[in-house]
Structure 1
């Protein structure tokens, strides 16, 4: 599966700072110190209705991570998956009377277009669950051989008790885990499971559903968590720098994935940092496909909204915050974009050296994009009210905003 084209990242004078970021697993801030190649895995979409503002906010956060690393002169090895076979996708396809694979490809292509428009840097590997199946089956078989998996009526489950570190990503109690498991794709009430929290590794073939050869597992399709584990281990290995996604993935997805990988490899932890973006609401409720309260990036673009304004609307909120999308949020971003573009269009301006330093420091401090935007706003006000004599400043500001914030002026 192919990703989307990369926009050019302008080179800036000087060098960025190492990223201090909030780690869900420890509950505190840690300074990431990757090697020459920083490794990041971000969980991708289930392509049955893409791309809403909640998606965009999440991928914007991890685009900033990449940009901070690139500014430190590192390379970035970024991997993202597409869950192109899963219950929600199959249910939507059946509801609409369309082929599930065609629906997945249609929505994945729309996602690519939206990411391109928003200047999100693409992953080096963009891998669908279906194409990962040949690598998933051996992992499930190995978990079974290790005694960490068991069969139940043809399905194969992972035993959470096989991982002594289970629970160290989310730090939730059993009751909270059980509730979230039921809400987020698990089946804690299924009779016969060793532990209600045990997640599906391989679902046996069911009538009317797609299935694949699972070797000794029989025909079926993979569970959600093992999909990401197979892709991450194949392309990044254990101990990669950042596991990322929305805060709704902390449990069960990232908790279960970590346990799968840790049992498979005997190593801990799967990732050095677990980083999660907040949720976006509309009309007082979390924006979600199940509720249907979605604002789509593609629809905004069709309505003539500049993608740079959409990106500025996202950047106006700290990535870990839960916030609400409103018409005013978008209007404020449109206004800000106009001021910025007018400021950098002048032949000279105030010195930009301190501004670049402020943007770098803000982003290194747990991706504080609102602080970075405020710094650019201050430079813009000075430009509007006083002007300046530095002929190179507008160009430097334009390149810095593009390179570090992904906004083309």
Structure 2
């Protein structure tokens, strides 16, 4: 028997409907902020996919078999493809450009709880504004999207930082700028690895004597502890000031570095308060990406929210949408003569709502059993007696009550 590929998941009807409900909730939240939905191709050129990506992401790309001169891969990240879309039409688009997406990505990595090789992500990108208010709006939307699903401040926390600030502090203890991407990559993994592993990995790229000083920097929990003229500090303070209405969700965390190499300013990640799951969402500012992809420098920021981890959290909090895919009416012909009339009834009822009819030539008992198992709300029964009297029998599947109604009156309801 064939099995699904490792690191993927099947969405059966109820699971797909849960996804659709969550996606619709995010879609509504994004539209309230004035974002517009876009979609990028699943495949892009390898030149684009590897532009300004960290080594870890490059190693995770599913590369397609080369058929011609160009080499293609499945996108491991959506920000770069969407930025390519922006560049192609940038001179036609009024600023700010505010886009959102609900789409799939692929990464060849070890599958684990909340991490798949094929996964859905909800996210946004803003092109044009360099203001702290744009960063704050991005974070506010992420918070509101989670709250719209029933989550509260006791359920999740937004950990916020600024890459310029973190780099300034680390350079201040004598770490070379050339090592910074690798240092950020290791800092970003700090919560996922042991203290010993963290020390060993950092010790491979910097003077081990500096590790204690880096840990001291990462332990800072208040901006007031940092020298006022430190680059990045003022910007982060302004972002946090703009988020005062949501301050109960926000926490300064200088170990929030984000692993992708293109981030240039504000960065943030969202975690469940108990720390049981992987990051739910993350993003930040990437002012150099548009220029790096061959266009003029354009400020930009965005975030992505992972469906897999979000679903685990909603399940743990008993907040997953309640699903009943049952049709409004199941039309059950109780005799061979009634089949044609049952089909006519079903056709007319479909103008009002969802309707299903027997396709397997089953007896009435088995039809009722099927209607019950699939969650049908009502069963419309028509047999020889009903045909003669021009009536139908309606059974409410929740209460079990039955009533006889004139066929013409029923269809006019």
* TM-score with structure 2 setting the length: 0.22
Give 1 or 2 for the bigger CA radius of gyration.
Answer: 2
- Report which of the two has the higher share of helix: 1
Q: Which structure is higher in RCO with an 8 Å CA cutoff and minimum separation 6? A: 1
TM-score by length of 1: 0.22
Structure ranking higher in strand proportion: 2
